Chains A and B, each alone.
Chain A
């Protein structure tokens, strides 16, 4: 073989192989970046932050669940009950901050067929500066600019991991699109486990009461980010729910001196959001039967699928809802009850 033949063949075969990889990525599209899955495949889980923005863009739905790990154990199908919605997608992201919510809401609310958005209203969203937690959704997946799609088409993680995973998961039916990113089956929900994961942190906790001085700034940032979405789509129902953290979470709050700040932040946010006719808020944090039964938890905040289903049922049936009239009293009573609770009982 001559040098010229080697050079031309190496270049030609390399480009040929790269084109095949790009074509496979476009056709299979494990991140649903270009289209809803072809060939009867489902949008089964691959990489959460990579895929959810594509699901939001390219799947057809009237109801979207936008949330953190507190929404990951929902089965999207539960919500297709004709009461909440008919076709639901779950757009959860582990550890999602407001910037992640915002990127998803931009896409979800740009669709006219969207009727309902269910949003997990985690406490940490209200007490962190959104600017300090920028989204980690890759830019090339989020924008509509095809020129940077090379990062998706020729991507080691996509080619070596997510593309095969997408196919394998579809073939083995190990994951359905409905339950994508659900982690409930991977963990044990048990009081011993919940305590064991919390105790090392409990020992190390330090006061961070300064959050009380800054909470209103964070709350303002949150509301300034969220309310424009609500105002822009008065035809969409925004259903917020405050997930039921275990009593260990509130023990942690007291030890860190954050209880008042968290309750005050929730009060401000609830009051502001409930001014809108298209907003409903469901509050599960004062459900003492759930939060004091640590067998529902894998750690101090993450609950089992049964609790997720209970949340769905309450939303469907209109239970545990707070209104403009009841929200302040509900939060005040809960904060007093938490403060009065004998937290040592949790460790016996």
Chain B
């Protein structure tokens, strides 16, 4: 069961909401929390790898909780607390490395002439990268502030909370747990229910109507790289840039929408990243909670920008190297991270000059840079990424690939295509090209020009027009659940 599924939308979510609001409306606050906890654990158990994954999650959460609440209790000496903090962080990182990186380490060892060792993790819990970072943040925060203390139920609910467990955002305990216990949030608030449903619907639409349709084009394009040429390569690369944004931010909108329906505020992960005028700005707007984690728990402890310019740049480079690795245990992810690290350094170096350039130029350069970097992110390996770039720069402006266009016509447009085929068969190819370019332009408009979903929700005022939009988008999205693709970020 995933968030965009019939079982989640029509069974799991309504039952959870109804039970939660019945419990809290009768002032059974602990029961309300237990309902959320049981729902979250059930949700997690229904995800692959099932009960084994749930056990791994609970053991990991229990170890972190015990270290933070017993090992880091205020009564202990500072050195002992530091030792417990390091132990907690190392254990979490070790678990993450065990689950996700040993195979990659083996590949690198063999590449360097070392011995080969066959390895397969017993279990790789879904969302491990997200909840591990949340746990590290909790341990470090507990070390920094000895007064931080939460109950086991609160902590387990925070870690396993179903809207965010699979794809984040990487929330902090201080953001969520006080909300779980805030009595003022225990009364049903229909304004938030309305906002939440609106945001949930927009998130579903972003994922199912835009990202998944673009994804078909991207998938076929990346399978046929040698035949692309410059023109097709541009469309495929641009499509992926838009797909990953609508896919990931769509999920975050779903999560935020659910939280709003529970009268909770989830931290934001996106703020219109494709409007950015520099790479530094892009990282303030893209995957905000990951950037925050790296800044607060890695960059600043490493010295941040306090130890001279060279050290600052090296710190930046290191952060993005780790960020690349966090996204995937493969060299092409590392290269993607390093490209962004270098981009940040260049962006800072030239900022006194670049700031004077027209906004449109700064936007275009930043957007083009992000597009090119995504090639390394999407490609299955570095060879494929370089081949895509070769096609882009030397493939020549060939006509759009008819097989590519025909294979990826969105389902919504297939009836139209079928009718065009019957009436004017010669126009089928051109209508396919027009459909594709329109879809890309619409996605580009919603990602780089129009208001973000967050802005739309912040200024949400219910009206008949909004009801109509919500109903159309919700029904359209529900129909699209029959062919939903996996979230890209669920693999990280």
Contacts and interface: CB of A to CB of B under 8 A. Distances in A.
Nearest to B421: A186
A160 B412 contact: yes
Contact of B482 (A1, A3, A155): A155
Nearest to B468: A13
Contacts of A59: none
Given A4-B190, A157-B482, 9 more contacts: A1-B462, A3-B189, A3-B190, A10-B197, A10-B467, A154-B478, A156-B479, A160-B414, A174-B422
Contacts, number: 89
B418 A165 contact: yes
B196 to A, nearest CB: 9
B116 interface: no
Interface stretch (B59-67, B248-256, B367-375, B469-477): B469-477
Nearest to B474: A14
Interface residues of B, number: 33
A220 B471 CA distance: 55
Contacts of A290: none
B193 A156 contact: no
A2 interface: yes
Interface centre among A17, A21, A156, A158 (most CB of B within 10 A): A156
A310 interface: no
A5 interface: yes
Interface string A245-257: 0000000000000
Given A157-B483, A161-B415, A6 B475 contact: no
Interface string B88-130: 0000000000000000000000000000000000000000000
Nearest to B196: A7
Given A3-B462, A4-B190, A18-B478, A161 B470 contact: no
B481 A154 contact: yes
B414 A161 contact: yes
A165 B414 CA distance: 10
Nearest to A162: B415
B307 to A, nearest CB: 51
Q: Which 9 A-B pairs have the closest CB atoms?
A: A6-B462, A3-B194, A3-B191, A4-B190, A155-B482, A156-B479, A3-B190, A1-B462, A6-B194
10 contacts: A1-B464, A2-B191, A9-B467, A10-B471, A13-B467, A151-B482, A156-B412, A159-B479, A160-B411, A174-B422
Contacts of B232: none
Interface in B18-64: none
A197 B381 CA distance: 34
Interface in A91-126: none
A5 to B, nearest CB: 7
B427 interface: no
Nearest to B191: A3
Contact of A14 (B190, B422, B471): B471
Interface of B: 6, 189-195, 197-198, 201, 411-412, 414-415, 418, 422, 462-464, 466-467, 470-471, 474-476, 478-483
B470 to A, nearest CB: 5
B101 to A, nearest CB: 33
B464 A157 contact: no
A318 interface: no
A17 to B, nearest CB: 5
A345 interface: no
Contacts of A21: 475, 479
B231 to A, nearest CB: 24
Nearest to B7: A150
Nearest to B422: A174
Nearest to A168: B419
Given A3-B195, A10-B467, A17-B471, A150 B6 contact: yes
Contacts of A14: 470-471, 474-475, 478
B396 to A, nearest CB: 22
A204 interface: no
A6 to B, nearest CB: 3
A11 interface: yes
Contacts of B189: 3
A165 B422 CA distance: 12
A60 to B, nearest CB: 29
B415 A160 contact: yes
Contacts of A7: 190, 193-194, 197
A164 interface: yes
A151 B5 CA distance: 10
Interface in A31-86: none
Contacts of A154: 6, 478-479, 481-482
